[in-house]
Amino acid sequence: MKEIKVTLSDRDIPKRWYNLAADLPTPLQPPLGPDGKPISPDMLEKVFPMNLIEQEVSTERWIDIPEEVLELLYRWRPAPLKRAVYLEQYLKTPAHIYYKDESLSPAGSHKPNTAVAQAWYNKQFGIKKLTTETGAGQWGSAIAFASQLLGLECKVFMVRISFDQKPFRKIMMRVWGANCVASPSHETRAGREVLKKDPRTPGSLGIAISEAIEEAVMDPSGKTRYCLGSVLNHVMLHQTIIGLEAQKQLKMAGIKNPDIVIGCAGGGSNFAGISFPFVCEKIHGAKIKIIPVEPTACPTLTRGPFSYDFGDVARMTPLLPMHTLGHSFIPEPIHAGGLRYHGMAPLVSQGVIEGLLEPQAIDQVKCYEAALLWARTEGAICAPETSHAIACTIEEAVKAREEGKQKNILFCYSGHGLMDLSGYEKFLNGELKDSSLPESLLQEAIAAIRHHPQPKLQKTGNW
């Protein structure tokens, strides 16, 4: 029998999260306030509960996972590490392709890993209601799920284009008791302003974030907080359970470190989850190629400058040091809604600056080709976001064939595509086109960013 799965026993689930901030060669630059000065943790306390703010600024290498959070995670974790032997055979590659299957969670992606942790910390802090934004709906579903488990009220602002393209995600959130509205909405000042300018806007994660923050900080009871499914340090932290499990499982398969680690990157959370424990190995001398993959429609890491920028359109967030296309940039409505974010997690961005990561951008047509090959060899239907990681994996596996080298490739299978089948239909009908960001729009976006304060860092990026 072929070995195609490495199952971690329940008692071997990692008990601590890994914090890359402890190991980065250059310390992370602080978030800045509207005055251009570093903000202090208490300036965020109307937005996030203090226990999560402490995690956000922590430089401890290991942070214990509370027992009750482990119990929540334990509902669907540890996730299996699988080997894509059928894809390998099809590609006639000597590479071994391993992937962490994060699609098996109740919400169908890696997002619940941080959703249950965030909901738990908020509840510990006495919070009654969470607000958030969602792109493709993966994060919105995950936080609806987590809020339901912990008895919290939940309101989700869903980017309009996804709200329309993915009608069933809304029902999922409703099944889990959440209130899901299309963004921009008329329910916030930020939403109304955008709608006034462009009533037919497809929306963006940046706008939806503005609305969700506004809804949280304006609650007079003070019992509402905002939560974010990506970008921030504590979100990256919670997701490292993916890579920590994978490390244990690869060792069980006799592999000390993979040669290549791949994850798709929108805000950076599943990429951080699978890769950060290996980035740590790389910092300490291991030779690993680590690739965040983004869409050519939103090439934040490959083309965006590393700069201080707002996380949202309405400039309600602090300025974060990150690769960005500008907080007012609205990407094409590609099907991988979760990758349509103008910025990138500061930890991932700095990993690029430090030369630890080698980002790539791939167009959605090529990604759907990869997704179809995956479905027809491995059997499962992946999320459009995940297809970016698969497309890159296929490229690397083909390269290994051409080089005649047996390489071990690890990627994050971040979610299933069962809620996103309309994209497959368009692809099968030949209706999808190259969605790469035109050079003129890119230059326009970059020009707008040049006026922001610049992080004081040694940069090696290629933009």
Candidates 372, 398, 448, 457: give the one binding its own copies (CB under 8 A).
372
Phi and psi (nearest 5°) for 261? -125, 130
Side by side, the strands of the sheet bearing 81-83 are 5-6, 81-83, 96-101, 408-413, 260-264, 289-295, 360-362
Q: How far is the CB of 106 from its own copies (least distance, A)?
A: 4
Give 115 or 313: the residue with its C-beta nearer to its own copies.
115
The one-letter code for the residue type at 335 is: H
Q: Which of 130, 127, 126 is nearest to 143 (CA)?
A: 130
Give 11 or 284: the residue with its C-beta nearer to its own copies.
11
Of the ranges 164-172, 181-189, 355-363, 401-409, which one interacts with its own copies (CB under 8 A)? Answer: 164-172
Candidates 43, 50, 171, 447: give the one binding its own copies (CB under 8 A).
171
Q: How far is the CB of 134 from its own copies (least distance, A)?
A: 16
Does 454 contact its own copies by CB under 8 A? no
Does 176 contact its own copies by CB under 8 A? yes
Nearest-angstrom CA–CA distance, 397 and 409: 8
Pairing label, strands 319-323, 153-159: unpaired
Long-range pairs, 393-396, Cβ under 8 A, ≥24: 393/97, 393/99, 393/262, 394/87, 394/91, 394/370, 396/95, 396/260, 396/262, 396/289, 396/291
Listed in sequence order, the DSSP H helices in 198-263 are 205-217, 233-239, 241-252
Q: How far is the CB of 41 from its own copies (least distance, A)?
A: 32
Nearest-angstrom CA–CA distance, 175 and 172: 5
Give the residue carrying structure tokens 């040091």: 321
Nearest-angstrom CA–CA distance, 26 and 353: 10
Give 319 or 389: the residue with its C-beta nearer to its own copies.
389
Phi and psi (nearest 5°) for 185? -115, 170
Does 168 contact its own copies by CB under 8 A? yes
Give 249 or 328: the residue with its C-beta nearer to its own copies.
249
Q: Please say whether the beta carbons of 275 and 261 come within 8 A.
A: yes
DSSP 8-state secondary structure symbol assigned to residue 413: E
Candidates 205, 320, 389, 419: give the one binding its own copies (CB under 8 A).
419
Pairing label, strands 129-134, 306-310: unpaired
Q: Which of 455, 13, 16, 17 is nearest to 235 (CA)?
A: 17
Rounded-to-10 torsion of CA 108, 203, 215, 56: 60
Of the ranges 1-9, 88-96, 197-205, 291-299, which one interacts with its own copies (CB under 8 A)? Answer: 1-9
| CA 159 and chain centroid, separation | 16
Candidates 65, 69, 156, 172: give the one binding its own copies (CB under 8 A).
172
Q: How far is the CB of 70 from its own copies (least distance, A)?
A: 7
Candidates 164, 425, 434, 444: give the one binding its own copies (CB under 8 A).
425
Does 177 contact its own copies by CB under 8 A? yes
Does 438 contact its own copies by CB under 8 A? no
Roughly how many angstroms between the first and final C-alpha of the chain, as a whole number?
48
* Cβ neighbours of residue 339 closer than 8 Å, sequence gap 6 or more: 135, 264, 265, 266, 294, 295, 298, 385, 388
Give 43 or 171: the residue with its C-beta nearer to its own copies.
171
Site string for its own copies, 89-128 (x = CB under 8 A): ---------------x-x-x--------------------
Of the ranges 64-72, 199-207, 276-284, 286-294, which one interacts with its own copies (CB under 8 A)? Answer: 64-72
Does 329 contact its own copies by CB under 8 A? no
Does 424 contact its own copies by CB under 8 A? yes
Does 4 contact its own copies by CB under 8 A? yes
Of the ranges 306-314, 316-324, 332-340, 372-380, which one interacts with its own copies (CB under 8 A)? Answer: 372-380
Does 428 contact its own copies by CB under 8 A? yes
Candidates 53, 130, 344, 381: give the one binding its own copies (CB under 8 A).
381
Does 253 contact its own copies by CB under 8 A? no
Residues 391-410 that bind its own copies (CB under 8 A): none
Give the residue carrying structure tokens 């190991």: 23
Does 10 contact its own copies by CB under 8 A? yes
Residues that bind its own copies (CB under 8 A): 1-2, 4-5, 7, 9-10, 67, 70-71, 74-75, 86, 104, 106, 108, 145, 148-149, 168, 171-172, 174-177, 372, 375-376, 378-381, 418-419, 421-422, 424-425, 428
